[in-house]
Structure 1
């Protein structure tokens, strides 16, 4: 589980990251990454809609994603805000597949963020 200080909790934070952040899509998820002005620790949030499945499936996907994101947060740039949006194929994906998609998406998003900062 992510510590309370590492979570995005407000709707406006999610909206800002998804609107202004760099996006990288994969088969089972989309990663949105935005850098805030402050140098605080990286924070993450998850969007798993009803299109992914019923309540049990959505919560299972969220738990898997949370478990995969927790060790990656310290590797993100300071002030990074991350939103991971699960797509319907995430329901049938294994944790290993989700992990590969997440890592590839993060690499791409970080690269896009660095290129935009120049």
Structure 2
């Protein structure tokens, strides 16, 4: 299970990562990543200068790496979707320490993920993170 601080839960956060972040596609999933410097630049660029002074954030959202998952009905029935989401959560939990602090990640499962093993999903995640050059160090599954 992912700790609460490592979960991406708000719809606006998912939308921000998918629209503004970089993505890498693999056969069974797509990984969207928004780096901490992009998050700060985006947040500072959205509001007007006088509005920024009045709306200071109540918590530092850039302090921890957060991950969210999208597993649509195209992947399969509810049992299959939940199995895929659990596998992805477990795989990403082991990779969070290797990501820069404050990184936002969305992992979107594609229909072939339904029949994939955890090893195949892990290889796809590692390949996507390597393509995006986001890993800080060699973590599980890296060669």
Report the counterpart of residue 74 of structure 1 in structure 2.
Answer: 97
Which runs of 5 or more residues in structure 1 are unaligned? 112-118
Give the secondary structure class of the aligned counterpart of 1:24.
strand
1:39 offset after TM fit, Å? 4.2
Which runs of 5 or more residues in structure 2 are unaligned? 41-60, 135-143
How many residues in Structure 1 have an aligned counterpart in Structure 2?
111
Which structure has the highest strand share of the two?
Answer: 1
Which of 25, 44, 47 is the equivalent residue of 2:67?
Answer: 44
Which of 77, 89, 92 is the equivalent residue of 2:115?
Answer: 92
Question: Greater CA radius of gyration, 1 or 2?
Answer: 2
Report the counterpart of residue 18 of structure 1 in structure 2.
Answer: 18
Deviations 1:36-95 (A, max 9, x none): 226411110000000000000000000000000001111111210000000000000011
1:33 aligned to 2:56? no
Deviations 1:3-38 (A, max 9, x none): 001000000100000000010000000000002226
Spell out structure 1 runs of 4+ moving beyond 4 A. Answer: none
Distance across 1 between alignment mates of 2:29 and 2:90: 15
Distance across 2 between alignment mates of 1:18 and 1:56: 26
Q: CA RMSD in A?
A: 1.1
TM-score, structure 1 normalization = 0.90
Report the counterpart of residue 127 of structure 2 in structure 1.
Answer: 104
Distance across 2 between alignment mates of 1:28 and 1:11: 23
TM-score, structure 2 normalization = 0.75
